[in-house]
Chain A
Amino acid sequence: MVNISLLATGFIFSQDCDLKLEGKIIDLYSDSPLEAAVIEVVGTNTNTISTADGLFTLTEQCPKKIKLKISHLNCKDLFKEIDLRQSESLSFYMDHHVESLDEVVVAEEKTNNLSTTAKIYSLSESEKDRNSHDGLTGVLEQLSGVHALSTGNSIAKPVIHGMFGSRIGIIYNGIMLENQQWGQDHAPNVDVNAFDNVRVIKGASALKYTGSNPGGIVILQSSFPKKIDSLYGKTILSGMSNGKGASLVSSWTRSFQNGTYFTAQGTIKKSGDLSAPNYVLSNTGYNQKNVSLAFGKNDTESDWKIYFSYFNNETGILKSSHIGNVGDLLRAIESDTIVINPFSYQINNPKQLNTHYTTSIDYSKYLNDKEKLSLKYSWQKNNRKEYDLRRGAFKNTASLHLNLDTHHFNSNYEWTSSFAEVNSGLFFEIQNNFSTPGTGTKRLIPDYLKTRFGSYITAIIHKNKNFDFGLGLRHEYLSNDVHKYYHNIRWESENYGPRLGPYVINEVLSQKLVKRKIVFNTFSFNAGVVFKASKDNTLGVQFNYVQRAPDIAEMFSDGLHHSLASIEYGNPFLKKETTQKLLLDFEKKYGFFTYIISPYITLGKNFIIIEQSGFEQSIRGAFPVWEYVPINAIFKGVDLDLSYKINRKLRLRNNTSWVEAVNSDTKEPLVNIPALTIKNQVEFSIPNWERFHASVISKNVFHQHLFPNNNNITSTLENGKKVDKVVDISTPPDGYMDLGLDLNWGPYQLFSSNINISLSFDNILNTRYRNYLNRLRFYSDDIGRNVMLQLKIKH
């Protein structure tokens, strides 16, 4: 391309494109050079990468106005217009918030603009890969303030600051995961290995994505491929002794100079029955198969992406936990475990089978150097089947079979300048839940059609180098069209007639079909300040005001929970829930000793919990009935992350989480609140062993002494006498210590690949323990020692 310059200057050869632009990329805060920043000339295919000294050179430039886009993994994109008339050497300052991972307690990234001043906790690649076989919750649990609410050992969902389920949002590639998240025994249907970045915000501070998750938000994101001709990938192969399981995770990216890329990722996991220290946990194996594909193009001024993912898992439920009535529950609690079969890979009933498909299309465009517009459409299709031990013709029929389709469309407008960032947008969503008929058991969740739309605006204002302010506002309109069958017995005992009678559209046998439209309008608001007191010390203050509409399960669930021998009923008259959270972050980022101390308090009004309310008789005996009720609640807690680097070879880390939650009217503690948890870690390497490092991790979970009393009394025969016995489902188990050891070797060069090998031990002492947050704790010990060999290859 020949360019005739109209701006002839004193240079003789100015009409030729032979100018050279040299530049240096510098971190705005530390004044240190930034390596691996990508510098692109907007509107051309020219790009380059900065060296270790932050330097780059663009040659063969024509004398004209050019626009540079400078991007870096941990920074916001920087646009700079340069009127190039002669070869020049310039410096570019980037807003870069991170020092090397070694120096900070918790890795922090600004890869993608979450539009918040809230503290973002991020997991490093090695922390993520270490638990790649373990699912999302296992990966997240490494962070302070995050726990796992589990059903056995392979089904777990994250608990953040004492909240879980519908109060936690999981956002993957900008899509809010919709997968029947209300259920305590429903693990998120997403493969953590499909994402490069795993981040957590401990509060509803990402109103750009969601406004109804007071507990916190998990953000999973793939990083943008570089604009170079390349084929790269990563493969992780793990073998586990406990369960004789294996997992293979592999991802590959083909990228081109012009910004086009294709990414494919897959995960296969298989495990047989896991083992407690003294016995096999029968029917606890699992199979998982996931695939994701992305195809897109990152142009300088616009990008688009088509994404598809498939998630499939089959998980066995501990055989011992299948009980029929409260008497069985009592016998289970009194025994160590009931069923011990020989080890097997076979997964029998009871089990869960989940499939989740995602398709999404993204497009975004820089309208100019300040404004960016993004559009996104996503379709999620979730299928959940739960199989119980059944009799007769229904033996192999799922007793729960739900199909959830969610279409989501949103647009985001972003305006950025040196002193502010503003995001605003509109979204629209339709969700259809269909319960496949013919299960031979009443629907746990009714059929419904949910329509949501709304808008949001968030802003971050950089007052000066020391002050950042954040504000956000989100409104949602939500309408639920529900078709629900009520059994006449329930209808009469609850006296639904006067209030729901007008909505009855059909009566069959002993049931009434009610069609209702329930509408909620919710407003959520947040405000935050980040104050840099000195170069090292930062204080953050976040306030979240969150309105959450009750979810369908809270309003309409209707069914029997086999593992707890209890019947659960929704409350059709629930109002929206309001929570207010105040969270402080005291952070010291640099130096040998670094820390984050985060105390918080959450007040919940109309806070929806499930509570025991009575009994229902059947020929199996009396079943406790649990119902959703609104209460006033107060959560108080503190998270602590400490890191002390003694020297280059030795570092100590600690993370501690404490939370307490009570009903503020009755002062009764809430159920399933994590106990005090302290994790200590010693990381060390050995002189002269260049490619080796290791860490010892001890996790201490204390006894939870705050719990509500939900015990029942049942009569049973014992030693020839009829006696009344307490079925103690309330008392939390004793505390325990889980000691782990990680040994890592590498990287070793093999052809063009880097290889890392690690040998990890979990519960190395083979300690017998039970975890309060494991719903199957009544039926068996938790899992015993596991030795994992992991091979990680970077291609």
Chain B
Amino acid sequence: MLKNIFTKAFVFAIILFVVSCDKDDSPDPENEEEAITKAVLVVTNTSDNSSETYNFEVEGHHHDHDDDHTDDGDDDDVDDHEGEHMEVELESNSTYLFEITFFNESDPSNSIDVTKEIIEEADEHVFFYELTDSSITIESAAGDTIDSSGDPIHLKTEWTTTSAAIVDIVAYLIHEPITKTGVSTRTDLGGSTDAEIEFEAHVE
């Protein structure tokens, strides 16, 4: 009786083992399908239609436990974007059209324009420029996407400069903001940041 049970159990275990171990098929790779890896800002001077393109692209690792890193900064000091800040040259008392687009280039051979998705989901997105100086005014420009509540999402904006200044700008693509009206700082918007770029506007 006892021997019988053990024999059955053993056979059972062997079958299980054989069945389960027959697994050699490799899993398919997963790509980061909704990552944003690049933001492109096109700045057009409305007086002469001359335009300048700025690419924001950051991808990199920064480790403090490895041996041979050449980072110059203090490890505790985190700069949001390593390296030089992008400088956008603007003239005083002028108007510019700022147009921002986003791309997913996780697969370098296949650049996906994410802007279309953002426009399709206009209700859930907003782009927001936060400035250290109030000498520049920013308004939604013609051709900007308007969501179903009638709020512009600021992918296309018109900038009016006044006096000369150097202005620090942080711009955010925000997913599911809590509001789009009466916004003066990033905090008012809530939501989660899908992309964040920094640049300096040099108004001369």
Let me know if B193 and A391 touch, CB within 8 A: no
Let me know if B2 and A373 touch, CB within 8 A: yes
Q: A108 contacts the other chain (Cβ, under 8 Å)?
A: no
| Of B32, B37, B193, the contact of A324 (CB 8 Å cutoff) | B193
Per-position 1/0 for B126-166, Cβ under 8 A of A: 00001111100000000000000000000000000000000
A-side contacts of B191, CB under 8 Å: 324, 328
A-side contacts of B60, CB under 8 Å: 489, 616-617
Q: How large is the interface on A (under 10, 10 to 19, 20 to 34, 35 or more residues)?
A: 35 or more
Chain A residue nearest to B28 in the complex (CB) = A437
Q: A43 contacts the other chain (Cβ, under 8 Å)?
A: no
A621-B192 in contact given A443-B30, A485-B29, A717-B185 (Cβ < 8 Å): no
A-side contacts of B54, CB under 8 Å: none
Q: A325 contacts the other chain (Cβ, under 8 Å)?
A: yes
- In the complex, A722 Cα to B167 Cα: how many Å? 10
Q: B41 contacts the other chain (Cβ, under 8 Å)?
A: no
Let me know if A625 and B57 touch, CB within 8 A: no
B-side contacts of A346, CB under 8 Å: none
Q: B72 contacts the other chain (Cβ, under 8 Å)?
A: no
Within 8 A of A (CB), among B46-95: 56-66, 75-82
| Of B58, B168, B190, the contact of A338 (CB 8 Å cutoff) | B190
Chain A residue nearest to B168 in the complex (CB) = A722
Instruction: Name the distance in Å between B150's Cβ and chain A's nearest Cβ.
Output: 21
Instruction: Name the distance in Å between A82's Cβ and chain B's nearest Cβ.
Output: 26
Let me know if B29 and A722 touch, CB within 8 A: no
Within 8 A of B (CB), among A595-618: 613-618
- In the complex, A435 Cα to B27 Cα: how many Å? 9
A-side contacts of B204, CB under 8 Å: none
Let me know if A722 and B132 touch, CB within 8 A: yes
Q: A586 contacts the other chain (Cβ, under 8 Å)?
A: no
| Of A327, A375, A614, the contact of B63 (CB 8 Å cutoff) | A614
Q: A113 contacts the other chain (Cβ, under 8 Å)?
A: no
Q: B187 contacts the other chain (Cβ, under 8 Å)?
A: yes
Q: A384 contacts the other chain (Cβ, under 8 Å)?
A: no
Q: B181 contacts the other chain (Cβ, under 8 Å)?
A: no
Number of interface residues of B (CB under 8 A): 76
A619-B195 in contact given A435-B27, A437-B28, A720-B133 (Cβ < 8 Å): yes
Q: A377 contacts the other chain (Cβ, under 8 Å)?
A: yes
Chain A residue nearest to B80 in the complex (CB) = A621
Q: B16 contacts the other chain (Cβ, under 8 Å)?
A: yes
Let me know if B27 and A617 touch, CB within 8 A: no
Let me know if A614 and B62 touch, CB within 8 A: yes
Let me know if A324 and B194 touch, CB within 8 A: yes
B-side contacts of A446, CB under 8 Å: 27
Per-position 1/0 for A347-389, Cβ under 8 A of B: 0000000000000000100010000010101000000000001
A-side contacts of B197, CB under 8 Å: 619
Chain B residue nearest to A506 in the complex (CB) = B26
Q: A663 contacts the other chain (Cβ, under 8 Å)?
A: no
Q: Which of B56, B61, B64, B175 has the most CB of A within 10 A?
A: B61
B-side contacts of A494, CB under 8 Å: 66
Chain A residue nearest to B117 in the complex (CB) = A392
A-side contacts of B174, CB under 8 Å: 324
Q: B108 contacts the other chain (Cβ, under 8 Å)?
A: yes
Let me know if A613 and B63 touch, CB within 8 A: yes
B-side contacts of A509, CB under 8 Å: 29, 31, 107, 109
Let me know if A483 and B192 touch, CB within 8 A: no
Instruction: Name the distance in Å between B96's Cβ and chain A's nearest Cβ.
Output: 21
| Of B30, B77, B196, the contact of A440 (CB 8 Å cutoff) | B30
- In the complex, A714 Cα to B77 Cα: how many Å? 8
B-side contacts of A715, CB under 8 Å: 78-80
Let me know if B118 and A430 touch, CB within 8 A: no
| Of B28, B34, B130, B131, the contact of A391 (CB 8 Å cutoff) | B34
- In the complex, A615 Cα to B63 Cα: how many Å? 6
Instruction: Name the distance in Å between B183's Cβ and chain A's nearest Cβ.
Output: 13
- In the complex, A511 Cα to B108 Cα: how many Å? 12
- In the complex, A427 Cα to B55 Cα: how many Å? 59
B-side contacts of A377, CB under 8 Å: 12
- In the complex, A739 Cα to B198 Cα: how many Å? 49
Let me know if B175 and A394 touch, CB within 8 A: no
A-side contacts of B17, CB under 8 Å: 428, 430, 451
Q: B201 contacts the other chain (Cβ, under 8 Å)?
A: no
Q: A508 contacts the other chain (Cβ, under 8 Å)?
A: yes
Instruction: Name the distance in Å between A220's Cβ and chain B's nearest Cβ.
Output: 25
Let me know if B32 and A713 touch, CB within 8 A: no
Let me know if A323 and B192 touch, CB within 8 A: yes
Let me know if A428 and B65 touch, CB within 8 A: no
Instruction: Name the distance in Å between B201's Cβ and chain A's nearest Cβ.
Output: 13
Let me know if A451 and B21 touch, CB within 8 A: yes
Q: A535 contacts the other chain (Cβ, under 8 Å)?
A: no
Instruction: Name the distance in Å between A749's Cβ and chain B's nearest Cβ.
Output: 48
Q: A478 contacts the other chain (Cβ, under 8 Å)?
A: no
Chain B residue nearest to A325 in the complex (CB) = B193
B-side contacts of A794, CB under 8 Å: none
Instruction: Name the distance in Å between B15's Cβ and chain A's nearest Cβ.
Output: 11
Per-position 1/0 for A708-732, Cβ under 8 A of B: 0000111111001110100000000
- In the complex, A323 Cα to B158 Cα: how many Å? 29
A449-B62 in contact given A327-B193, A713-B77, A720-B133 (Cβ < 8 Å): no
B-side contacts of A510, CB under 8 Å: 106-108
B-side contacts of A322, CB under 8 Å: 176, 192
B-side contacts of A722, CB under 8 Å: 132, 168
- In the complex, A392 Cα to B122 Cα: how many Å? 11
Let me know if B27 and A619 touch, CB within 8 A: no
Q: A688 contacts the other chain (Cβ, under 8 Å)?
A: no
Q: A65 contacts the other chain (Cβ, under 8 Å)?
A: no
Let me know if A409 and B117 touch, CB within 8 A: no
Shortest beta-carbon contacts, A-B, top 5: A440-B33, A324-B192, A324-B193, A614-B63, A392-B117
- Seen from chain A, the residues whose Cβ lies within 8 Å of a Cβ on chain B are 322-328, 331, 334-335, 338-339, 363, 367, 373, 375, 377, 389-394, 407, 409, 411, 428, 430, 432, 435, 437-443, 446-447, 449, 451, 481, 483, 485, 489-490, 493-495, 505-506, 508-511, 513, 515, 562, 613-622, 625, 627, 712-717, 720-722, 724
11 contacts between A and B (CB under 8 A): A391-B124, A435-B27, A493-B63, A493-B66, A508-B29, A510-B106, A617-B82, A619-B37, A620-B36, A621-B81, A625-B63
Given contacts A324-B193, A494-B66, A513-B27, 20 further A-B contacts (CB under 8 A): A324-B192, A327-B80, A339-B190, A375-B9, A407-B20, A411-B9, A440-B30, A481-B23, A490-B61, A509-B31, A510-B106, A618-B35, A625-B61, A627-B65, A712-B78, A714-B80, A715-B78, A717-B132, A720-B133, A721-B132
